[in-house]
Every structure is written in structure tokens, then in C-alpha cells.
Structure 1
Amino acid sequence: MNSPHLIKIEYSLRILSLEELEWLLERIEKQVQERKQISNKFTDIKYMNEQLAAMASDLDIQAEIGSGNHEFYVTEMDGLEKL
């Protein structure tokens, strides 16, 4: 995985002090952990089901769905649902 960007970053790291490298390493570790947590949340089916349940009970979302249903009520009566 030697993309031009990574090679440029690696070269730039050589001019940093030890303190700067340690700071940068901490920041990189933090970002990696945050991305892993986000990734895990979206692959966790229990988490996703909890989020869907919360959305289903949200009054604003229910009102929006009702508005959409009302708007398309006449369209649903055109007989296409039998297809």
C-alpha cells in the first residue's frame, strides 16, 4: 500500500521531532479507534434495530410518514397495487 500520499507523509515524518511524532501518533490512534467504533455500530444488528425502533416511535418521523401517505393516497387508488 505505497500510495504517493503515504510516501509523501512518510518523508515528511522524518523532519518532525520526537515530541511531534508522539503527538501525531496519539492523534492517529484516536482517529483509528473512532472509525472502528463507528464501523462497529453500523455492523451491529442490535444497534441498528434499536435505532430503527427509536425512529419508529419518533413523533416527528411519524408525522412526516403520515404526510407522505396522505400526499400519495390518490395515487395509490390508481389500481397499480394489483400488479
Structure 2
Amino acid sequence: MMNSQHLLKIERDLCALSLEELEWLLELMTIQVQQRKQISNKFTDIKYMNEQLASMASNLDIQAEIASINHEFGATEIDGLEKL
């Protein structure tokens, strides 16, 4: 267990809470831990990220937006600059 000064203070403060307050805090902490795990897992899961990218690539609205952007900036591709 970690024994930082911050955690020791929290532990002392917890002793002053009622049972109802402790239960509420425990529920809140459980929810936050679950949310952080889900977010962490989503962004570190390469399979998930690839699935999301594939989904975006096949989305007709996204394809239309990309086509619109390409059309809008098409003139800049012929501005005379050579590819490096």
C-alpha cells in the first residue's frame, strides 16, 4: 500500500465520515475507477482503435466531408510547389 502524506491525510479524514458518506464516496470512487479503466483500455487497445478507424473510413458522411475538403483545397495542390 502507498503511504504518501496525501493518502495518510485522506485516511484520517475518512474516519470522520458517517457510514452513509463513506458508502456514497465508495460508490463514486468505484464509478470513477471503472470509467478510467474503460478509457485507458480503449486508447491502448490497438484492435479497438483499428475498428474505429475502419468504421470511420466506411462512414458515408465522413467520406463526403473528406471529398469536400479535398475539393476545397484542390487548388493548393497545383500551386507549383514540388513534392519533397
Pairs within 5 Å for 1:9-28: 12-28=13-29
Instruction: Determine the structure 2 residue equivalent to 1:66.
Output: 67
What amino acid does structure 1 have at the position aligned with 2:43? F
After superposition, what is the alpha-carbon deviation per residue over 1:12-71, rounded to whole angstroms, capped at 9, x for unaligned? 534321232022112201210111111111100000000000000111111110001001
Mapped partners of 2:39, 2:46: distance in 1:
13
Instruction: Determine the structure 1 residue equivalent to 2:77.
Output: 76
Structure 2: segments with no counterpart, 5+ residues: none
Instruction: Determine the structure 1 residue equivalent to 2:31.
Output: 30
Mapped partners of 2:83, 2:27: distance in 1:
60
Q: Report the secondary structure of 1:80's partner residue.
A: coil
What amino acid does structure 1 have at the position aligned with 2:68? S
The count of aligned residue pairs is 80
Task: Label 1:63 to 1:81 Cα distance change in 2 as closer, same or farther (>3 A).
Answer: farther
Give me the CA root mean square deviation.
2.0
* TM-score where L is the length of structure 2: 0.78
| Identical amino acids, percent of aligned pairs | 75
Mapped partners of 2:77, 2:18: distance in 1:
68
Structure 1: segments with no counterpart, 5+ residues: none
Mapped partners of 1:81, 1:69: distance in 2:
18
